Amino acid sequence: MSEVITLPAGTRIWLAAGVTDMRCGFQGLAAKVQTALEDNPLGGNLYIFRGRRGSLVT
């Protein structure tokens, strides 16, 4: 069984290019959004980061 995730209209999806060190946790990833994109990580957009092996996406 699969589920469909619906997003509100106007939601932007950001895919980080390259590999991200996932050891920094969610707070570290939120800090990357703030510094690299100069955006609010809690502003309603979706940010996707890829781990080194490619099997982990957060």
* pLDDT tens digits, one per residue of 3-57: 888 889 999 999 888 888 888 889 999 998 999 888 899 999 999 888 777 766 6
| Chain centre to alpha carbon of residue 51 | 11
Q: What is the pLDDT of residue 34?
A: 93
Q: What is the pLDDT of residue 28?
A: 92
Q: Model pTM?
A: 0.72
Q: What is the pLDDT of residue 57?
A: 67
Residue 20 burial (CB count, 10 A): 19
